[in-house]
Each structure stands twice: as C-alpha cells, then as structure tokens.
A and B are shown apart, each in its own frame.
Chain A
Amino acid sequence: MSEIELLYLLAAVLFIVGLKQLSTPRTARRGNAIAAAGMLLTMVVTLVHQDIVSWGTIVAGLIAGGAVGAMLALRVQMTAMPQLVAAFNGFGGAASTLVALYEIGNTDGVFATETGVTVVLTLAVGSVTFSGSFVAYAKLQGLVSGRPLSFPGDQQLNAALAAGLVGFGIWGVAADAVPAYWLVVPVALVLGVFAVTPIGGADMPVVISLLNSLSGVAAAMAGFVIGNSALIIGGALVGAAGLILSMQMSQAMNRSLANVLFSGFGTDGAGPVSMSDKPVKSATPDDVAIALGYAERVMVVPGYGLAVAQAQHAVRDLTTALEARGVEVSFAIHPVAGRMPGHMNVLLAEADVPYDQLLDLDQSNPRMAQTDVALVIGANDVVNPSARDDPSSPIYGMPILEVDKAHTVIVVKRSLSPGFAGIDNPLFYLDNTMMFFADGKAAMEQALKALADV
C-alpha cells in the first residue's frame, strides 16, 4: 500500500461528505459539486500514478463519453428524467463489466479463487444492470409497453438463467477458463432483460433505485478485481443508497421488494375491470374555477399523468393565479407518484414551484380535513380509498393520500379508465367528487381561463 491510497481515501471522504450534503435541500447543490470534485481527484490521481503507456485510448474515451454524457444531461426534458437516470445506471454497469473483461484478458483468466469470484460477480451484476436498465429505459421512453409482460414459465426461465450464471462462474474460477468467464456476460444480459420485463410502469420507482444499487455493487466488485479501495468504497455507498430507496419505495406501496420484483403486479389489469355503475358528477371548467376560486385552502395532488401531459407549467400558472386571489395552495406528493423516487418534486421544481410548498404523505394527510378543494391531476391508485377501506382490494394496506376527506375533490382525468393496478376507484363516485374529463394540461388552461371570470 502506498501514499496513493491516501489520495483515494480523500476522494472517498469527499463522496461521503457530498452525499451527506445532498440530503439537505440547502446544501444539496454544493454536495453534488463536492462529490464531483472527489471523482475528478480519483481520475487525476490514477492518470498521474499509473505508468500510462498510451494516452490515445484514454483521451478518445474521455472525449467521446464526456460529449455524450454532457449532451444527454443538458438536453433532457425534466419529464424524461426517469429514463435518463435508468440509462446512466446502465452505462455504469457496462463500464464495470468491461473493466472485468479487460482484466480477464490481462491475466488470461488466472485469478486467486476469491478474486475470481469477484470477477464473476462484476460480470454478472454489471451485465444485469446494463440490460435491465435499458429495458427500463425502453419502457419509460414508451419504446415498448409499460405494462408488465409475463409469460408462463418466466420465473423458471430466470431461475435457469441464474443457475447458468453460477455454473459458468464456478467453471471459470475453478478452471481459470476464459471462455467460461465470457459466457457469464450473455447469460446475465438475458437475465437482466427478463427480470425487468414482468415489472409494470408504476413499479418503476423501485426498479430504478434497485438498478442504481446494483450499479454501485458492480463498481465495488470491480474494486476487488483491480484491488482499488476507492471503487470499493464508492460502490458500497451507492449500493447502500439505492437499496434504502428501493426499500422505502416498496414500503410506500405496502409491498415487499420481492413482491414488486416477482409478482407481475398489474398483469391482470389488462382484462376487463368491474366498474361501478354508479353515476359520476362531471364538471365543466366553470365549475372547477368556481370551486377553486372561492376556496380558502387547495391541495394539488399530482401523479404520473401530470408528467405524461407535460402539465407542470400549466398547474403552476393556475396555482399562481389562485394564490393571487388569496387562496392557500400546497402540493401533496405520494412517495411513489411518478416513475422514479421524487419524480413529481423535480417536475414541479422545473415549473418554479418552491419546494417548501410540497408536502409529503405524513405532512399532507392531517391537513386534508381542513382542505376545501383537493385537485387530483393524473393520480389514481395513490388516492384510492379502497387501499384503506376494502380488505379485498389488491392495494389494501398501501398508504394513500386521503383526498376523500377534503370538502370537495376535483379529479382531472381523461376517462374513467382504471389506474395501473387495474382496479376501480370509489373516489370517483363519492358525493363530494367532481370529475373533470380532460387532458391534464388542457384542463389546467381551461380552468385558468374560466377563473378570470369568477
């Protein structure tokens, strides 16, 4: 061990301090910069310390990767953030896999047993992260259906693929067999695809955080392969962070992580749904404007539909107009609203909604009874009272935003179609609920226009 290790340790400290500051709104931006400085330090130390024989590959890779990364980061729409995070996870997994493959070539597959095991783990976890992330990307980008895709025997297929991974891994480690190591990669890539396809769109917050965790684990394993503690520490931090988030997201749906990953939840939703025959109250833009304009307190409840309709700016315009009239407006955000943890917060921040106006589940529910109007935009399952009242409901036990306790509920929705879970929502038929059938963005614009005459 040399002094160089101390510089890597310094970088690891910068990562930890950066993450710590990232967890408070006031210091978050500085935290990100500190973590980035740590990363720059590791890169400089590596380039100075190693006896580099060829700079061409390094420079080419840095330029190509830097250009692509910067372009993606600076041009992405905030509504497309979940798929971009998924893609970055995928690239991280790919990088760790490639480093391990390079090491295999470098050593002709001859490793100490324990190192060989970490080579297999890097290849397997990195490849699953890569292909799984790009399936998630395709689902979120709408390139393939966001519905869970299951087929008979898929769990058995995945079990067989996992067994194949273990088999090739043992063969590689035991016999120093280069081909066996390489074969881990395609098997893991296929496993990554079939692990994510059965998981539906609304469960994506869990999947993305889990893939995030895996990209960290892959980096940590690569750290064992090349004997570098910066990779081990950085990877372990990310692995832990992603795991915490995925557990929090599962809890927010009252389901276990295993249930999210393996149940194919929502697959039955494609079939006919038993819809209530009860009448709903349909509202005009004028009805909505009157209800909102004469309210004292309004709670906006956004869901994935807000992102789909790109309605964040229109909502902001409407709430600004309401505040100008003296209406108190806040936003209630369910932990799994949207397609990644914190998705709604990012969208509303983009539309200049101050973050202290955004309330989480525990802050908003006690205020519902004092709320005059709850304005639900593109959210469904997270406001479904069945989760609280109906033990036979598939989402029973999931914590919800109890908008039905508000004096009046306005639900903006394109039709009465059920949400992701494929279950009817009794909220729509309550006496104090008005349905405003329209696209989220158009609805906000119409309501704003009507508000001028109220």
Chain B
Amino acid sequence: MSEPFVTGIVVFVLAAFVGFEVISKVPPILHTPLMSGANAISGITIVGALTAAGLSEGTLATTLAFLAVTTATINVVGGFLVTDRMLEMFKKKPVQRNV
C-alpha cells in the first residue's frame, strides 16, 4: 500500500472518532439541524467535482463533471441554507412577566 493511502486511513479513522466524540451528546431538539448541517458537510465532495470540471475534456468527462458540480452544489448550498433557516426559528422562552 502506498504511503499517502495509509496516511489517508489514519486520518479517516481519527476523524471518525472525533465525529463520535463531538456529536454523541447532542440534545434531541437539535437532531434535525445537526443532521442537515452534517449533510451539507458531506457535500465536501464538491472539491473533487470542481477539480474534475476544471480539467475535463471530451463530452463524457465534461458531462460527468458538470453533473458532479451541480449535485454537490445543491447539497452544499441547500444543506447550509435550510439548516440556517431552521436554527433561526429556535428560540428560548422570553422572560416571563409576572401576572
């Protein structure tokens, strides 16, 4: 196995553990925003899509690259926006007036 690949595995395993640690204590009220925010992060594959689109030649390659950029962008833009829209609605109870 090549050295970069082994490094990649190390990074993957450590990142997964970080993910478990960071997320394991999320309160239920935030489950949906957390999921959709994480979902937007999975659009990170846009890095590969942009690289492909910038270098592509030929119809098939260009089509694949275009679709990759498009779907990844839907995922990223839509995911972050909708998460923000949801979180904007989450409010604490205003301080109560004594009746």
Contact = CB atoms under 8 A, between A and B. Distances in A.
Interface of A is mostly: helix
A145 B28 CA distance: 28
A19 B19 contact: yes
A70 B77 contact: yes
Contacts of A32: 33, 37, 80, 83-84, 87
Interface in A32-82: 32-33, 35-36, 38-39, 42-43, 46-47, 50-55, 57-58, 60-62, 64-66, 68-70, 72-74, 76, 78, 81
Interface in B55-69: 55-58, 60-62, 64-69
Interface residues of B, number: 87
B86 to A, nearest CB: 6
B61 to A, nearest CB: 5
Contacts of B37: 18-19, 22, 31-32, 35
A239 B72 contact: no
Interface of B is mostly: helix
Contact of B77 (A73, A115, A232, A237): A73
A105 interface: yes
A222 B72 CA distance: 13
Given A19-B23, A341-B31, A88 B39 contact: yes
A15 B38 CA distance: 9
Interface string B17-29: 1111011111111
Q: How big is the A interface, by class?
A: 35 or more
B69 A355 contact: no
Interface stretch (A164-172, A190-198, A213-221, A394-402): A213-221
Given A47-B54, A114-B5, A342-B33, 9 more contacts: A25-B92, A32-B87, A50-B55, A64-B70, A89-B39, A95-B43, A341-B28, A345-B29, A360-B27
